[in-house]
């Protein structure tokens, strides 16, 4: 459906987008927890994958991803993908924070600069993505002949 005829997003659609982002982030954290302490993949693919799939963190994490996808579909019912997709980039920031707080990962100046650029990009896309371009009428005949 062209954007001109699409209904405006409601609070329900924005809430669905927030839930989709949160569920996906929860899924990432749970998958990381599920992968912790597993034997390295050098011991064989089956030896590494089977225990991974049987851990409760992995199962719940995959469920979070699936539910996040369903909420994202609801959000896309009215939110333009050019706005919704960049909003999901906030998960890069939250993933970095979870990595720092839960897993003891480090934050280099380069990573910090990259996160700042992502945040700026999201703000620019969200702001400019929601503005409608001004449509000007045909040029006056007198101005066109000059």
Q: Is the pLDDT of residue 20 over 90?
A: yes
Q: Is the pLDDT of residue 13 over 80?
A: yes
CB of 61 closer than 8 Å to CB of 26: yes
Assigned token pair, 20: 């989709």
Q: Is the pLDDT of residue 133 over 80?
A: no
Average pLDDT, the chain: 82
Instruction: Find the mean pLDDT for residues 130-143.
Output: 56
Q: Is the pLDDT of residue 67 over 90?
A: yes
Q: Considering the entire predicted model, what is its pTM?
A: 0.74
Residues 92-123 have pLDDT tens digits of: 889 999 999 999 999 999 999 999 998 888 88
Start-end of H helices in 2-146: 11-35, 45-54, 56-76, 81-87, 90-103, 109-129, 141-144
Query: Of the candidates 60, 62, 80, 59, which has an alpha carbon nearest to the alpha carbon of residue 17?
Result: 80
Burial zone of 98 (CB within 10 Å; 0-12 exposed, 13-18 middle, 19+ buried): middle
**Distance from C-alpha of 1 to C-alpha of 17, rounded to nearest angstrom:** 20
Residues 38-63 have pLDDT tens digits of: 766 666 666 667 778 888 999 999 99
Q: What is the CA radius of gyration of the chain?
A: 22
């Amino acid at each position: 459906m062209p954007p001109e005829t699409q209904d405006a997003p409601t609070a329900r659609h924005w809430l669905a987008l927030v839930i989709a982002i949160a569920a996906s982030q929860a899924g990432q954290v749970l998958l990381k927890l599920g992968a912790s302490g597993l034997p390295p993949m050098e011991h064989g693919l089956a030896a590494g994958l089977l225990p991974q799939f049987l851990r409760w963190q992995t199962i719940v994490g995959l469920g979070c991803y699936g539910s996040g996808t369903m909420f994202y579909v609801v959000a896309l019912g009215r939110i333009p993908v050019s706005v919704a997709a960049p909003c999901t980039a906030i998960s890069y920031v939250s993933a970095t924070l979870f990595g720092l707080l839960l897993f003891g990962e480090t934050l280099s100046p380069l990573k910090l600069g990259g996160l700042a650029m992502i945040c700026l990009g999201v703000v620019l896309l969200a702001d400019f993505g929601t503005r409608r371009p001004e449509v000007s009428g045909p040029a006056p005949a007198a101005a066109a002949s000059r």
